């Protein structure tokens, strides 16, 4: 079978159905460029066109036993065209899903930011009702993110006293936070 490249498409199709790898290779060599050009013309994407053509040939080999091909050229062109349509449909669905996920994420982030702001407002309001030293220790340490050592130095108190004020402030805020949140909601 040294002159396989001289065979007509009908003969190659019969050999392909019989599982002849040389016939498949000849069909591949004969049609790869044409199918690539067709896919690329529709997609304008080199990688996608190459992938589609490879998939078409893979499908041709896998289904070779079941194929009833009248015109190999027409059959291969139709396989490529339908593969492009499937690719475009899948790509469109993927983009739609990405858009939906983006919207959901943006909405969730927005809701989280609003929830965080509301919670911060409630905590700030509750901390404003604390005794002065407790309030200052809590606000400097928790809301302004200063260390207890710095807070103690600023307020001219010992670090142990600052810890005591912070503990008292946290206990009062935790107790009142549940009530404030339920009233707010």
Q: What is the 3-state secondary structure (H, E, C) of 63-102?
A: CCCCCCCCCHHHHHHHHHHHHHHHHHHHHHHHHHHHHHHH
Task: For the chain, list residues with pLDDT below 50.
Answer: 184-185
Residue-range domains of the chain with CATH? 4-97 (1.10.1740.10), 129-184 (1.10.10.10)
Q: Would you state the pLDDT for residue 50? A: 94
pLDDT at 69: 83
Q: What is the pTM of this model?
A: 0.49
């Amino acid at each position: 079978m040294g002159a396989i490249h001289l065979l007509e498409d009908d003969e190659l199709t019969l050999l392909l159905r019989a599982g002849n790898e040389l016939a498949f290779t000849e069909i591949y060599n004969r049609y790869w460029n044409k199918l690539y050009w067709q896919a690329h013309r529709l997609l304008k994407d080199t990688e996608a066109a190459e992938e589609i053509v490879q998939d078409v040939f893979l499908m041709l080999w896998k289904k070779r036993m079941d194929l009833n091909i009248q015109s190999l050229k027409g059959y291969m062109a139709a396989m490529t065209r339908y593969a492009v349509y499937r690719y475009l449909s899948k790509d469109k669905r993927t983009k739609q899903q990405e858009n939906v996920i983006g919207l959901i994420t943006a909405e969730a982030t927005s809701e989280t930011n609003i929830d965080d702001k509301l919670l911060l407002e409630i905590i700030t309001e509750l901390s404003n009702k604390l005794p002065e030293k407790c309030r200052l220790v809590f606000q400097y340490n928790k809301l302004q993110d200063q260390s207890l050592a710095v807070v103690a130095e600023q307020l001219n108190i010992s670090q142990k006293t600052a810890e005591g004020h912070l503990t008292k402030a946290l206990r009062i805020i935790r107790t009142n936070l549940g009530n404030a949140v339920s009233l707010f909601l």
